[in-house]
Structure 1
């Protein structure tokens, strides 16, 4: 009975993996990058403001940070989609 469940669950996991592999599109990576960057940019804005005491400087640091890390995260995500390890 336990062996049957293990085999059955393995088949379900394989089907689930195949569905996930097909459903992961670049637009999903963009959405994930944007949502994460909003969180990260707020953090950068707050830290920059605390350290500098100037909102204009903090906002310009956060703006540059948002753009550069958005692009880096997108490519990082696309590379990891090609890695089969852990799937």
Structure 2
């Protein structure tokens, strides 16, 4: 009886070490703003064309935002180092 209660409690207990997906989204967005500004500046310095630099930065923003979100979700499942 006590054994069953202990198993049930562990099975349905909220995981307080994991981040919620919305936190991963906000972190991804904030990091991508910083990264995109960097890409925009570097692209402009290399090309000298703001339209081309903005195009590069836009594609970079979308692809890396998606990659970062999934990267965070995978690392959230790994128990190592927690």
Which bin holds the TM-score, normalised by the shorter protein? Answer: 0.7 to 0.9
* Structure-1-length-normalised TM-score: 0.76
Q: Which runs of 5+ in 1 are unaligned?
A: 1-17
Deviation track 1:19-54 (CA, whole Å, cap 9, x = no partner) reads 3x15x1000000000000000000000000000000
* Structure-2-length-normalised TM-score: 0.80
Aligned residues between the structures:
68
Partner of 2:12: none
More helix by share: 1
Partner of 1:86: 81
Partner of 2:37: 42
Higher relative contact order (CA 8 A, sep 6+): 2
Partner of 2:66: 71
Runs of at least 4 residues of structure 1 off by over 3 A? none
Partner of 1:9: none
